[in-house]
């Protein structure tokens, strides 16, 4: 049976819960799925495909980007999917990403305040701003990418992080995870990763 690694990075637990839901949905389709924090992953040799999730923490979590860059040679040999958790996503054109399926939770997407014009603050929460470094770091085996709403607990943050999130990201504390959307993407992954072939 083909085995999928669902690995994640988390600041405050949100992305771990999402990874677990995705792994459950993969398992329901008849493939094996193992959830593991990225720090515990020694290598991906035992797996046929990899799913990596991490939150937006002033850009996609830097350890996720670092991992993609430093493990490119290993990751390029198997299909890869990435997911990002975030609190703000401004409606914007998607960057060029041929051959990569992009899913965005439509409940997370907010149109720009001025129709047709991305303002200065909004430019920090566009698809292009978020995805350019990710696409640059990712191996050519990247098949699918998803954006999900996360959860924000201000009381867990250092004051300067809270200030950044409120003022720049414009995110309000709360729960934005859309479980049906997350689970539907998880269920679609075996097809997106071509596990049947």
**E strand segments, 60-138:** 80-86, 89-90, 101-104, 109-110
**Window 80-99: contact mask with ligand FMN (x via CB under 6 A):** -----xxxx-----------
Question: Can you tell me whether residue 3 is helix, strand or coil?
Answer: strand
Q: Compare residues 105 and 195 and give the one whose CB is closer to ligand FMN.
A: 105
Closest CA to 195 of 16, 27, 67: 27
Neighbours of 133 (CB within 10 A): 15
Which residue of 58, 102, 167, 184 would you call a contact of ligand FMN, by CB under 6 A? Answer: 58
Binding residues for ligand FMN, how many (CB under 6 A)? 24
Q: Compare residues 41 and 169 and give the one whose CB is closer to ligand FMN.
A: 169
Q: Does 22 bind ligand FMN (CB under 6 A)?
A: no
DSSP 8-state symbol, 170: -
Which residue of 6, 138, 142, 152 would you call a contact of ligand FMN, by CB under 6 A? Answer: 152
Q: Does 165 bind ligand FMN (CB under 6 A)?
A: yes
Give residue for tokens 């771990």.
16
Q: Does 171 bind ligand FMN (CB under 6 A)?
A: yes
174 and 152 Cβ atoms separated by less than 8 Å: yes
Q: Compare residues 75 and 89 and give the one whose CB is closer to ligand FMN.
A: 89
DSSP-assigned beta bridge partners for residue 195: none
| Smallest distance, ligand FMN to C-beta of residue 182, A | 12
Neighbours of 45 (CB within 10 A): 8
DSSP 8-state symbol, 121: G
Residues that bind ligand FMN (CB under 6 A): 10-15, 55-58, 85-88, 125, 150-152, 157, 161, 164-165, 169, 171
């Amino acid at each position: 049976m083909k085995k999928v690694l669902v690995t994640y990075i988390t600041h405050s637990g949100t992305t771990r819960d999402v990874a677990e839901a995705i792994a459950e949905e993969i398992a329901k389709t008849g493939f094996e799925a193992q959830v593991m924090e990225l720090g515990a992953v020694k290598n991906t040799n035992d797996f046929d495909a990899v799913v990596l999730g991490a939150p937006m923490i002033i850009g996609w979590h830097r350890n996720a980007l670092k991992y993609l860059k430093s493990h490119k040679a290993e990751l390029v040999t198997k299909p890869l999917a990435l997911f990002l958790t975030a609190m703000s996503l401004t409606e914007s054109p998607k960057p060029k990403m041929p051959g990569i399926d992009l899913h965005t939770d439509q409940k997370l997407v907010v149109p720009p305040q001025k129709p047709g014009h991305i303002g200065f603050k909004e430019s920090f929460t566009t698809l292009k701003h978020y995805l350019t470094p990710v696409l640059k770091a990712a191996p050519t085996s990247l098949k699918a990418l998803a954006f999900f709403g996360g959860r924000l607990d201000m009381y867990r943050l250092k004051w300067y992080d809270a200030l950044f999130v409120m003022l720049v990201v414009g995110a309000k504390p709360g729960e934005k995870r859309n479980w049906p959307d997350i689970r539907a993407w998880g269920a679609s992954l075996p097809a997106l990763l071509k596990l049947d072939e």
